Structure formats: C-alpha cells, structure tokens
Amino acid sequence: MVSERELLASVPTQLWIGGPVDATGGATFPVENPATGKILVEVADASPEDAMRALDAAVAVQDEWAATPARQRGEILRAVYERIIERTEDFALLMTLEMGKALPESRNEVRYGAEFFRWFSEEAVRIHGRYQTAPTGTGRIMVYKQPVGPCLAITPWNFPLAMGTRKIGPALAAGCTMIVKPASATPLTMLLLAQLCREAGLPDGVLSVITSRRSGAVTAPLINDPRLRKLTFTGSTEVGKKLVESSAHGLLRTSMELGGNAPFVVFDDADVDAAVAGAMLAKLRNGGEACTAANRFHVHNSVIEEFTEKFVAAVQETRLGAGADPDTTLGPLINAEQLDTVSELVEDAVAKGAQVRTGGKAPGGPGYFYPATVLSDVPAGARILSEEVFGPVAPIIGFDTEEQGLAAANDTEYGLVAYVYTRDLDRALRIAEGLESGMVGINRGVISDPAAPFGGVKASGFGREGGTEGIEEYLSTKYIALP
C-alpha cells in the first residue's frame, strides 16, 4: 500500500475537463481530514465559466459517444470496474482520509461502488425497444430508446465513490455524457475515478468533474442551459426541492434521491438476536451517515428491554477513532456542523425525557468524533424522531399492536427505506405492502444492491438507481410510426 502522502500526490487536484485543467484564475479550496481537522490538499475551485467549459466538452462529444457501439461502451465500463478493484486499497484510504469512515467501511464502498460499473457494463447491451403490428392492422409500431443527452450529477459527501458510480455507470452505458459536481468536502475520490476512466479508454469530454465550494453558483448556469437534458441529485430534501424548481424552466429530466427517516420495526415474534445484528448494520454502517440508516427503532413492548440490552451491549463494542487506525470501527463525523447537529438532537431528546443507555456525549479534542449512542424512552415530541440524525444515534420507542407499529413507521414525510423484523411471513408481506417507502428490508439490515432499484417516495424523492430500472432514467422513448 502506498503512503498517505504518496497517494495524495497521485490524485488530480485540478478540474477534470478532457483531462486536468486549472480553474479560472487558479482559485482553490482546502479539503479537510475530519479525524484531525487538518488540511489534506487544496483542489481547484471552479467558476460558472468552468462549468460551461465542461458542458461545452460534453456537448461536443455527445453524438459520437451515443453512436459508439453498446458493446464498446460496456467494455470501457468493465475496464473501469477492473481498475477500481485493482486499486481498492488506494480508493479506500483516500475515502477514509477525506470523509473519515473506518477503512473496512471504505473497502466495502469500493466493492459496492465498482459494482455499478460492472452491472451497467452488462446493461449497456440490453437496451431494448419493440416492434409490432398496430391493433388496427393499418401500420406498424416501432419503439426506440435513445440517450437523453448531456447530464449533470450532483453527489453528496457520505459515499464519495458509490454515489458517483451509480449515476455515471448507467449514464455512460446509455450513451450519455456526464458532468459530475462532487461535494466540496470529498472531491478527491471522484477526481481519481475520472483519471481511471481515461486510463480505461473513456474518450475525453464524456466525463467531466468540476469541484467547487460554490455549488449553487456553479451548477445554476448548467441547469439553465438548454443543452443540458438531465439532472440527477443525491442529497437533502431541502436542496432537492430547489433543484427541481430550477430544472422546471428547461423541463429537465430529473431523478432525486433525497433524505430519509428510516423506521426499524421489531415485532414480538422477531428473532431478537438477528434483529440486534441487523440494527448494528442498519444504524452504524457508514457511521450512521447514510440516507438508508435506521433513524427510529420501533420495538414491540414485549421484547423492547431484551432488544435494548443486547443492542447496547453490541454498540459498546464499537471502537471510536481515526478511520485509518486498524482498530477503529467507527470514524468521525464529516465536519463540525454535523457534530453540532447530532449533539443538539441528542440533547433535545434527553431534555424531553429520553434515557441515555450508552454514549451521548462527544469526547472533545481534535476531530469531529461522536460515540455510538442508544436512547430509550424517547418521547413523541423529540426532534430526533422527525429529523434525520445522520450520525451513530439510535432512539428506541415501544409499541403494542401491529397497527400501531405500522402507523408509527409511516408517521414521517419521508419514504426511502424501512426495516422489519418478524418470523411471520404473512405479517412480513402485509407490513411491507403497507409501508410508505420505496424500499423495505425484511429481516435484513442492509438492502443496497446494484442489481436492485434504489429510491424513495414522498419527501425522499423519485426515480430509481440500479437494477434494470436504473438505465431507463437516462433513456428517452421514441415512437416511430410505419406504414
């Protein structure tokens, strides 16, 4: 494995527009290590003019990329997948340095993120249309799929690789060019990916990466340019709403993967040990900084104390520390603002009567650390039940009947994912059908899979990423009438 210094020196820090280029005026901004608060490197700070350079490059090669045979596009994606896997340790360390997660978590993300390139390398050759005789017998109907055109992807900081690959993969497979605006907190992983794409044979201009700490100012001219035909965003519901409003003027195709407030429901007939194991995954994967993280634990009152005691014992086994430390299982939060948010939500719950069973207080010192925390007896008015905590905090609430459990799970404006633990198959299907969420995990604490459609309903957005459905977001349907 290369050293941290060698790795950082090998990663592009300029904009990536047909290769590395400086931002207008040479502006830069710092990328911080959340475990120390120290600056890792300075990267290019794009201007609106730089964003338009990226769009010019995407438009210039759009027709050529769309005309590239699907097999050839797929082989390039497969080559990128193989290069990512070959450099698993480099990507893992880079993500840990800029985002903070423990190295095992980062390695898991590399495998997960790379898989989107392998999956969509195979989907590239399975873009189907249809041909049939019109029911009246007076003509023929041909349905043809075409790439929507140049796309803009705005990605978050919590999964620096996977949130990009699950957008880039289907876009490139469909024949679309793409501009990626990664989060300013974690731009390095996406810049390294762009470099690997070129090495794998991706033509210049097909994928651009524009890094900037002024996201709105830089993306606004892109969204308002009629040459852009697709906007895809992963992030908060608040920002997603603004982007949808902005995109309406140009009637852009949009897909939005927004906030979550996932319920984790444990029924009286559940395997409690399995539920605890699932809760550890659903809550602490990525340190709780995931839109799919379980945010509310609704546990039947007949098993609530057993579940809580076993969950607390498991949580206390986590090791808080710098993500690059091999003993660490829980890294820091992304920044001081997120640390303050998590602390405030816990303090609010405790002030209203919640009991801290473990954790509950930041250790202080350098870095943005917060311990894995379990709260019991959480009252209905606590903010943590309605707001996405995005941290390693698990509030537990009891219920008595199946109807109460389902109602409590649905009592949110969000609808991304829900988790259910029960041994009763009929109940599992009944609850799954009744849950107002785009995804449901039955006796599973992790549901993400590149082969499955990922996305939510209500305030959690619309559109799907992954699965056979994922590539459809980047295709237009054309009907051709024949005599």
Which of 326, 403, 409, 427 shows the shortest CA–CA distance to 104?
326
CA–CA distances in Å: residue 30 to residues 37, 278, 327: 11, 37, 28
- 153 neighbors 167 (Cβ within 8 angstroms): yes
- 142 neighbors 480 (Cβ within 8 angstroms): yes
DSSP tag of 383: G
**Strand, coil or helix: what is 414?**
strand
How far is it, in rounded angstroms, from Cα 146 to Cα 175? 8
How far is it, in rounded angstroms, from Cα 369 to Cα 392? 10
Residue bearing tokens 């537990």: 396
Contacts of 468 (CB under 8 A, 6+ apart): 123, 126, 453
Point out the catalytic residue in the list 115, 257, 402, 465: 257
How far is it, in rounded angstroms, from Cα 82 to Cα 115? 10
How far is it, in rounded angstroms, from Cα 380 to Cα 412? 12
CA–CA distances in Å: residue 141 to residues 131, 135, 144: 6, 10, 10
Which of 453, 449, 464 shows the shortest CA–CA distance to 112?
449
Which tokens hold the place of 210? 């524009």
Annotated catalytic residue 257: yes
Which of 478, 474, 464 shows the shortest CA–CA distance to 176?
474
- 157 neighbors 235 (Cβ within 8 angstroms): no
How far is it, in rounded angstroms, from Cα 152 to Cα 477? 20
How far is it, in rounded angstroms, from Cα 344 to Cα 335? 14
How far is it, in rounded angstroms, from Cα 92 to Cα 222? 31
Which of 225, 310, 222 shows the shortest CA–CA distance to 266?
310
How far is it, in rounded angstroms, from Cα 294 to Cα 347? 19
- 45 neighbors 27 (Cβ within 8 angstroms): yes
Which of 201, 204, 147 shows the shortest CA–CA distance to 170?
147
How far is it, in rounded angstroms, from Cα 295 to Cα 164? 24
**Strand, coil or helix: what is 38?**
coil
Residue 431 falls in which region: left (phi positive, over 0), alpha (psi -120 to 50) or beta: alpha
Q: Which residues are catalytic?
A: 257
